[in-house]
Structure 1
Amino acid sequence: MGWHKSSCSAANGSCVEVGQVVVGMRDSKLGDDSPVLTASRARWADFVAAVKGGASRGREW
C-alpha cells in the first residue's frame, strides 16, 4: 500500500498516514509495525465530510 502524509504534518513524525487504494490509516511513528485501520473510499469520504462539517466526538457519522 502506498502511504501518504498531509503536507501540513509536523516534521517530528507524529502523523497519521493514509493509504491510496483502500483507505488505510496508520501511525507514522510506528511505520510498518503500526496497526492499520482500513475503510472503503466511500466510508472515508463520509468521515471526511463529517469532520469538515463539524462532527464532534461521540456523534455518529
Structure 2
Amino acid sequence: MAKKGNRVQVILECTEHKTSGMPGMSRYITTKNRKNTTERLELKKFNPVMKKVTVHKEIK
C-alpha cells in the first residue's frame, strides 16, 4: 500500500462566535503540512455572520 502524505485537511472554527451566543457557525477548511506544523493552526479569517475578521482555531 502507498504511504500517506504529510498534507492533511483541517477545519478552522471561529472562537468569538461560540462565546457570543449568536446562532450559526463560521468554519473554513484548509490544508497543513503535518511535519512542519505540528501545533494547531490559528488564523484570522472573515466571519460572514458577525461581519468582521475574527480568530479561527483548528478543531479536532
Normalised-by-shorter TM-score class: under 0.3
Name the TM-score, length of structure 2 as normaliser: 0.23
Of Structure 1 and Structure 2, the greater strand share is in 2
Q: Which has the higher contact order (CA 8 A, sep 6+)?
A: 2
Q: Max radius of gyration: which structure?
A: 2
Name the TM-score, length of structure 1 as normaliser: 0.23
